[in-house]
């Protein structure tokens, strides 16, 4: 079974630009969550999508948005990039079960110059 895939793996952008990251979950998984990981703030929850609906949202500004498609693939968008947005962005998918175990993708390393 293929794992969670994320594209692109690396991105370099400049301040003020916008970026779109993509995540393809494990086949059959309907929940996709996004996290931002930085050395200073650790792993922070961005949002979760389930069946094309945002189910949970973290404490990030409105510049961060996401969506999920009918095939469960998800995208997240960051507009008006700031230097502080440089981070590893991880997505995780899970299958609805009592465990709700999350499986993480390899991440997208975003650098904002």
Binding residues (CB under 8 A) for other proteins: these are 33, 35, 42-45, 48, 55-58, 90, 92, 98-107
Q: How far is the CB of 16 from other proteins (least distance, A)?
A: 28
What's the min distance (Å) between Cβ of 14 and other proteins?
24
Distance CA 49, CA 45 (A): 12
Q: Where do the DSSP E strands lie in 58-106?
A: 64-68, 74-78, 87-94, 103-104
17 or 73, CB closer to other proteins? 73
CB closer to other proteins out of 52 and 101: 101
- To other proteins, the closest distance from the beta carbon of 112 in angstroms equals 19
For 76, other C-beta atoms within 10 Å of its C-beta total 22
Query: What span, in angstroms and rounded, lies between the C-alpha atoms of 27 and 38?
Result: 28
């Amino acid at each position: 079974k293929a794992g969670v895939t994320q594209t692109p793996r690396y991105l370099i952008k400049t301040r003020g630009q916008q970026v779109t990251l993509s995540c393809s979950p494990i086949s059959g998984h309907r929940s996709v969550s996004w996290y931002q990981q930085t050395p200073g703030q650790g792993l922070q929850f961005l949002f979760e999508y389930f069946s094309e609906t945002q189910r949970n949202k973290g404490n990030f500004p409105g510049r961060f948005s996401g969506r999920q498609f009918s095939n469960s693939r998800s995208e997240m968008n960051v507009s008006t990039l700031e230097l502080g947005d440089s981070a590893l962005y991880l997505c995780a998918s899970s299958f609805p079960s009592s465990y709700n175990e999350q499986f993480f993708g390899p991440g997208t390393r975003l650098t904002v110059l």
